[in-house]
Chains A and B, each alone.
Chain A
Amino acid sequence: MHELLSYDFFRNAMLAAMLAAVSCGIMGTYIVSKRIVFISGGITHASFGGIGLGYYFGINPILGAAIFAVFSALGIEYSSRRTEIREDSAIAILWALGMAVGVIFVFMTPGYAPNLMSYLFGNILTVNTSDLYMLLVLCIVIIIFFTLQFKHILYIAFDEEFARARRLPVNMIKYVMISLVALTIVFNIRVVGIILVISLLTIPQTIANMFVKRFFNIMIFSVLIALLGTISGLILSYLFDIPSGAAIIFFLVSLFFVARIMKWIILKTSSI
Chain B
Amino acid sequence: MSDLLLKIENASVSFDGVSILQDINLEVRKSDFIGVIGPNGGGKTTLVKLMLGLLRPDKGKIIYHLSHDTGNTKIGYLPQVHSFDKKFPITVQDVILSGLPSTHKFVSKHTGDEKEKAVYWMDRLGISSLSRKPIGNLSGGEMQRVFLCRSLISEPELLILDEPDTYVDNLFEKELYEELKELNHKMAVFLVSHDVGTITSYIKSIACVNKHLHHHPSNIITNKQLASYNCPVQIITHGDVPHTVLGKHDHKHDHEHQH
Q: Which A residues contact B (CB, under 8 angstroms)?
A: 33, 35, 147-152, 154-155, 157-159, 161-168, 209, 212-215, 218
B72, A158: Cβ atoms under 8 Å? Answer: no
Interface residues of B in 127-151 (CB under 8 A from A): 134, 150
Interface residues of B in 85-104 (CB under 8 A from A): 85, 88-91, 94-95, 98-99, 101-102
Q: Which residues of B contact A35 (CB under 8 A)?
A: 85
Chain B contributes a number of interface residues (CB within 8 A of A) equal to 28
B73, A166: Cβ atoms under 8 Å? Answer: yes
Please measure, in the bound complex, the distance between the C-alpha atom of A147 and the C-alpha atom of B106, giving whole angstroms. Answer: 8
Give the interface centre of B85, B90, B110 by most chain A CB atoms within 10 Å: B90
Which of B76-84, B185-193, B211-219 lies at the interface with chain A?
A: B76-84
B89, A159: Cβ atoms under 8 Å? Answer: no
B41 within 8 A of A: no
B52 within 8 A of A: yes
Q: Which residues of A contact B94 (CB under 8 A)?
A: 154, 214
Instruction: State the Cβ distance, B111 to closest chain A Cβ, in Å.
Output: 12
B170 within 8 A of A: no
B104 to A, closest residue via Cβ: A151
A167, B54: Cβ atoms under 8 Å? Answer: no
Contact with A along B42-69 (1 / 0, CB 8 A): 0000000000111000000000000000
Instruction: State the Cβ distance, A33 to closest chain B Cβ, in Å.
Output: 6
Q: Which residues of B contact A151 (CB under 8 A)?
A: 98, 102, 108, 110
B108, A215: Cβ atoms under 8 Å? Answer: no
Q: Which residues of B contact A161 (CB under 8 A)?
A: 54, 79, 83
Q: A148-B106, A213-B134 are in contact. Are A165 and B72 (CB under 8 A)?
A: yes
B84 to A, closest residue via Cβ: A159
Interface secondary structure of B, over-half rule: loop
Interface residues of B in 106-125 (CB under 8 A from A): 106, 108, 110
B79, A162: Cβ atoms under 8 Å? Answer: yes
Please measure, in the bound complex, the distance between the C-alpha atom of A150 and the C-alpha atom of B106, giving whole angstroms. Answer: 9
Please measure, in the bound complex, the distance between the C-alpha atom of A167 and the C-alpha atom of B90, giving whole angstroms. Answer: 21
Please measure, in the bound complex, the distance between the C-alpha atom of A212 and the C-alpha atom of B72, giving whole angstroms. Answer: 33
A158, B98: Cβ atoms under 8 Å? Answer: yes
A166, B72: Cβ atoms under 8 Å? Answer: yes
Instruction: State the Cβ distance, B17 to closest chain A Cβ, in Å.
Output: 14
Interface residues of B in 215-241 (CB under 8 A from A): none
Q: A158-B84, A158-B90, A213-B89 are in contact. Are A164 and B102 (CB under 8 A)?
A: no
Q: A164-B54, A165-B77 are in contact. Are A159 and B108 (CB under 8 A)?
A: no
6 pairs across A/B with beta carbons < 8 Å? A151-B110, A166-B73, A166-B99, A213-B89, A214-B90, A214-B134
A-B complex: 6 closest residue pairs judged by Cβ atoms: A213-B134, A150-B108, A155-B98, A165-B52, A167-B72, A215-B89
Instruction: State the Cβ distance, A161 to closest chain B Cβ, in Å.
Output: 6
Additional A-B contact list (20), CB under 8 Å, known A154-B98, A158-B84, A168-B71: A33-B88, A33-B89, A151-B108, A157-B88, A158-B88, A158-B98, A159-B84, A159-B98, A162-B79, A162-B98, A162-B150, A163-B98, A164-B54, A165-B72, A165-B75, A166-B99, A167-B53, A213-B89, A214-B94, A218-B89
